[in-house]
Structures are given as structure tokens and as C-alpha cells.
Amino acid sequence: MPDNSQFHAASDLVETAHTIGVIGHLRPDADAIGSVASTVAALKQLGKEVFGAIGQVDPMTENLLTIPGAAEIIFGETLPDADLYIVVDCGSIERTGAFESFIVDNSDKVLVVDHHATNPGFGTINLIDVDAESTTTILYDWFDAMSIQITPDIAHGLYAGLLTDTGCFRWGRPVMHDMAKELMEFGLDIRSISAELLDQTSVDDLRLVGQIVSKIELKEAGPYTLAVLIADFDTINGRSRAVVEGLIEMVRAVDGADFGAVFKEYERGVYTVSLRSSHLSVASLAVHLGGGGHIPAAGYTARGSEIEALDTLIEATVTLGESLRSSAHIDV
């Protein structure tokens, strides 16, 4: 994990900056939005001019708008000028989306805060802890080092990232429960937060889930069996992205499968692929295919037809073979 000297170096960058941009990843989840929103709120305490931004035109899913400060985050392809850019929860520079080339050209004023095992560190300072349950976990420690006063809104954002990236505390270190306890002391209604982020649904959403899950298939790939869901464009276009993104948790531990994969065709011919496993390094697989993530949870982008996208995953799985098992160190 980052030590005090790294936290101090990061804090020095903040101290000398007047305007700061906080950037989260494409197709943001609760850890990304919670990290952006809580960092914006924290740095405003220090008198900074701060904005949050996501490098895509499409808005966030409605459930994420329940995180305080989320509605103020800018979505678009143009990044306002700032003295410092803090990139949070982006496992690779590509995850900054439309801002990627700008980040590359201005790496001398980029601070990275992240917990993805595949992150190479692309900032002038990198607060990366691959053992951290969420990026908000790292931020919580950094805020403490900067003497930030945790408010209910900041606590909400930090808790949202911790809750969702641990699968509702189904995996992680004992310290995650300590952090949750401390955040709860700021008056969080954790039942409402959980319901807003994870539980609320509609009859239409349930029908969509049933339509996709009914087509689940098991595919053989060398020594492994994959549980595969295909969410094609015609089925999911205009539907709830939160529901579609949640499908991956349904195939994480299918009986008889070594890992689960969900292919989401948000754009015709382009599949956002999510991978999950309880005992394999799907991060290795994702990196092989141009993506990244955590050992048990990763993703990448595939292009082509449905058959081509699936065949590419199967071929990669066969190619990597037993290395997926030997490189996995998962405690869930």
C-alpha cells in the first residue's frame, strides 16, 4: 500500500494546485463515481477549485446519481484546464476514455489513485494498492493523511465504492469491515444505500434479465468451462445499463463453470466483456485481450460478430491454459 512519503508527495501536488480535475473511468461504477465525488468534496475543503469528469458522452446509470455529488460530474469529450488531474479507479490509461491522449500529453501533472492489479502507474505520482478492496479505500487513508474532515456526503461516496467492489462484503480483508464501521458512524443509512445501488428494480428490468439469462450457455475452452451470457444490441439498446452490468454477478459462480463472461453490445459490433471467477486470474486473460482489472474481476473490449467475439475469448483461454490458475491468488 502507499506509504506516508507517497501520501505526502501526493498532498504536495494538491497543495500547489489551484484548479484540480478528478477523472473516473469509462462506464463508471459506484467505486468510480464514489471516488470522484468524494475527492471533489474533500479537496473543496482545502479551498481548491475542483471538478469531476468522465471521458464519455453517455451519462451514468441512474442508480449512481444517488451518490452525493454525482450529478455535478461532467460527462463529455473535452476536459477543462486544470493545474492537476487526479485519475481515480482507472486500471489503465485507456480507461480514461476521451481524455486518454490529453492525459498522455500531460502526465507530469497527473496523480493516479487506483487498486487494479493491472495498473502500470501512468502518473507523475501513483497511489496504487492492489490489495485494497476499492479505490475509495485508498482515498480514505489519503484523506486522513491530509486531515480532511469526513462529512456524511464524503462517507456516502467512500462507502458506495467499498460496498460494491467487495460484492457486499463477500470478499476482502478484515480491514474492510473496520472501514465500513467507521463510515457508518457518520450517520449513513446503509440499508437505503444498498437498495439504491443494488436492489431497486422494475418488472421491465426483471423481464430483461430473464430474457438474457434464459440464453446462458456453457462453453469449453481447453481445461476450462465458461458460463457465457450474450446481451446483444437489439435486446439492451435503450434499456437500463445498471441491470445489464449486474448480469455478471449471476455467472460468477455457476455450477460446473470455471469463470463467467458477459458480452454487452452497447454499440453494434462492439462488445464490452466482463469476466469474473472465484479461482482463476481473469485479469491475465483480460490483459492478453487488451483490457485489465483485478485477478477475480476484469474486462476488455471485443469487436466483430457475436461468434467472433466469443471465439476470441475461447482461443485466448486455451492459449493461456494453466497459467490462469497458477497466477491466481484469490481469497474470497
C-alpha cell at 254: 455457476
- In angstroms, rounded to a whole number, what is the distance separating the alpha carbons of residues 127 and 232? 37
Residue 198: per-residue pLDDT: 87
Structural domain includes residue 17: yes
For residues 116 and 19, state if they share a domain.
yes
For residues 137 and 210, state if they share a domain.
no
Structural domain includes residue 332: no
Residues 231-257 as b/e (b if ≥16 CB within 10 A, e otherwise) read beeeebeebbbbbbbbbbbbbbbbeeb
Number of domains in the chain: 2
pTM for the predicted model, two decimal places? 0.86
Residue 290 makes CB contacts below 8 A (sequence gap 6+) with: 300, 301
CB 120 within 8 A of CB 75: no
For residues 109 and 189, state if they share a domain.
yes
CB 67 within 8 A of CB 37: yes
Q: How confident is the model at residue 328 (pLDDT cuts 50, 70, 90)?
A: low
Give the start-end residues of each E strand in 17-154: 19-24, 49-54, 74-75, 84-88, 110-114, 125-128
For residues 159 and 241, state if they share a domain.
no
For residues 209 and 241, state if they share a domain.
yes
What range defines the domain where residue 233 resides?
203-326
Q: φ and ψ at 260, to 5 degrees?
A: -110, 150
Summarised one tens digit per residue, pLDDT across range 45-100 is 999 999 999 999 999 988 999 999 999 999 999 999 999 999 999 999 999 999 99
- CATH code at 129? 3.90.1640.10
Structural domain includes residue 134: yes
Boundary (domain end) residue, out of 154, 182, 198: 198
CA 289 and chain centroid, separation: 18
Boundary (domain end) residue, out of 153, 174, 198: 198
Q: φ and ψ at 56, to 5 degrees?
A: -155, 160
pLDDT at residue 332 tops 50 = no
Summarised one tens digit per residue, pLDDT across range 235-252 is 999 888 888 988 998 898
Structural domain includes residue 38: yes
- CATH code at 214? 3.10.310.30
Q: What is the largest CA-CA distance in the chain?
A: 56
